[in-house]
Amino acid sequence: MQATKTPIDVNPIDCSHYINGEFVQSKNGETFENMNPATKEVLGIVQIGGKEEVDNAVKAARTALKGEWGTMPAKKRSQIIRKIGDLILERLPELAMLETLDTGKPLWLSKSVDIDRAANNFHFFADCVTTTGNESYQQDDIAIHYSVRKPVGVVGLINPWNLPLLLLTWKLAPALAAGNTVVMKPSEVTPMTATVLVEICKEAGVPDGVVNLVHGLGETGAAITSHEDVDAIAFTGETVTGTAIMKAAAPTLKKLSFELGGKNPNIIFADANLDETIETTLKSSFINQGEVCLCGSRIYVQREIYDSFLEKFAAKAKELKVGDPFESETLVGAMVSEEHYNKVVSYLDIAKEEGGKFLIGGNTLYEEKGFYIEPTIITGLNQDSRCVREEIFGPVVTVLPFDTEEEVLEQINDTHYGLSASVWTTNVKRAASFSAQIEAGMVWVNTWFLRDLRTPFGGMKHSGLGREGGVHSMDFYTEQTNVTLKL
Ligand code: NDP
């Protein structure tokens, strides 16, 4: 692999906490080094927040709730939220560069998806502030019942590393739209764009104390989730962490929203348009190094087209460029961290032990440079294989043949996960009836990752709790009081 060619005209940053409108360092002096996974170079120093920082952040958030923010007219709040989106777009090149340095993902992807959609989250929820309605019922001439929305209070936002700014803003924008104050903790491996975001919030006019940021590891997150003065937690991450958070939040009965792991199936029927299917399946398998919760990592193909699908899919996947995230041709960059790279590599070993065949891939690349893994297609495994059942979260997919609709439906629903699925068929009747029977929060037909922010986003079973998006987010980030007015 060539050395990074694109001139990096943005300096990586050290990451401090942001509490009550000021950047501060940890009282205990604890820090860690933030690493660029594409080069193994140290990017900067990150503060590790302890109980004291979390306490201070929660206090600041509670105070801000009672201040200017708590009484701000909705129109003004909406203008501030819109301005945050505008400022993100103004700083898009810088934010995209920082996101790529932190994650190892291609720069073009950071620009076109991560940062662009982060701005869009604010623009979208700026509108929700003024357009979300409340329920109201007239009971003959006896009474009118109507609901009044109030912010939940202080909300903890805890986020993963795969789409750092995009997922953080997917929570921050509606939390602010509904009038809450927040304490955010980004993933330890991707702390930089959150640190720029708080600067942007201040510039946009967010009062001090409304948005607080505490960096750190899992323990920092745990201090937020168990804090008695935090009213709600919105979390995206692994299912096992969700379980820990649920336990920690139980004594204080916090409101919870979880977006968790997945093992999403792509189901390809023999009547599908094969070229379109393959084009999109390449993306749903390998984009962002397969590190998207919605990636389709187990592919089921009807037997009549199994061989021809594999032949074409493998040929196209072989052409995907892996390497320098700053190269415009790169589709698969570096895995986000050494720890995650080791996890994905361990599944390549498991696949071999389970008798899987690497149709393509199965190797690591440029080891002296960074954490790269080839796009990998595994065949020859059965439904009970760990590689078919467990979330790998890398550029690794399994492909299994199926004969009938009933058989494949049973296989795809045979999992604790229930996040998303992608169905490929030209038979509209089958598309509708089959999709309705899939145990997943989101099903795409003849497409993937196509989003409308008004739709309910989230998983069922062990893939999540509740839904985000449009009015669903506004419902989570508000409490409703029903008023009955006797006539
Ligand atoms: P983790 O669950 O490991 O971490 C997520 C966040 O939780 C991090 O900030 C982490 O801190 C923090 N954390 C860890 N332990 C605790 C704890 N006990 N209490 C509170 N916070 C804690 O997830 P990953 O970062 O590894 O992200 C990948 C996962 O996210 C995958 O499973 C993926 O499927 C899922 N995901 C789901 C999405 C969805 O919409 N359903 C979208 C994107 C990802 P630390 O800094 O130490 O890591």
Q: How far is CA 102 from CA 108, 148, 195, 263, 319, in A?
A: 14, 42, 12, 25, 26
Mutate to test the pocket of ligand 1, among 225, 247, 293 (most ligand atoms within 8 A of CB): 293
Round to whole Å and give the CA distance between 109 and 10: 17
Best residue for ligand 1 mutational test, from 30, 102, 187 (most atoms within 8 Å of Cβ): 187
Known active-site residue 94: no
220 CA distance to ligand 1 middle (Å): 13
Q: Whose CA is nearest to atom 18 of ligand 1?
A: 222
Catalytic pick from 53, 188, 259, 354?
259
Distance of CA 406 to the CA centre of its chain: 32
Spell out, as residue ranges, where the chain has pLDDT lower than 70. Answer: 1-8
> Among candidates 426, 447, 381, 434, which has minimal Cα distance to 404?
434
SS3 477: coil
Q: Which amino acid is at 57?
A: A
DSSP symbols for 169-211? HHHHHHHHHTT-EEEEE--TT--HHHHHHHHHHHHHTPPTTSE
**Residues in contact with 140: Cβ distance below 8 Å, sequence separation at least 6, in sequence order:** none
Q: With a 6 A CB cut-off, is 291 part of the ligand 1 pocket? A: no
How far is residue 57 CA from its own chain's centroid? 24
Q: Which of 215, 211, 212, 248 is nearest to 233 (CA)?
A: 248
The residue whose CA is least distant from atom 13 of ligand 1 is: 218
Q: Which domains does the chain show, CATH number per domain?
A: 17-260+463-486 (3.40.605.10), 265-452 (3.40.309.10)
Quick one: which of 247, 112, 119, 245 has its CA closest to 185?
245
Given this model, what pLDDT does residue 9 score?
72
Which tokens in the block code for residue 242?
């969700």
Q: Is the dihedral of CA 269, 273, 274, 277 positive or negative?
A: negative
Q: Which amino acid is at 301?
A: V
* Residue 385 in contact with ligand 1 by CB distance below 6 A: no
- Whether 185 lines ligand 1, by a CB cut-off of 6 Å, is yes
32, 236, 337: residue to mutate for ligand 1 pocket, most atoms within 8 A of CB: 236
Provide the edge-to-edge strand list for the sheet that holds 396-402. 357-360, 376-379, 396-402, 296-302, 264-268, 420-424, 442-445
Bridge partners of 259?
236, 464
- Give the number of C-alpha atoms closer than 13 A to the C-alpha of residue 400, restricted to the C-beta side: 23
Minimal-distance CA residue to ligand 1 atom 48: 187
Asked if 174 and 125 touch (Cβ cutoff 8 Å), the reply is yes
Q: Is the CB of 359 under 6 A from ligand 1?
A: no
pLDDT at position 3 is 45
* Alpha-carbon distances, residue 62 vs 56, 183, 285 (angstroms): 10, 10, 43
pTM, two decimals, is 0.96
Structure tokens belonging to residue 395: 């550029």
Q: What is the CA radius of gyration of the chain?
A: 23
Looking at residue 11, its pLDDT comes to: 86
In this prediction, residue 291 carries a pLDDT of 98
Res 10: pLDDT: 83
Q: How many CB atoms lie within 10 A of CB 480?
A: 13
Give the pLDDT of residue 7.
Answer: 53
Ligand 1 touching residue 160 (CB < 6 A): yes
Query: Considering only CA atoms, which of 242, 96, 92 is closest in space to residue 159?
Result: 242
Which phi and psi (to 5°) does residue 25 adopt? -105, 165
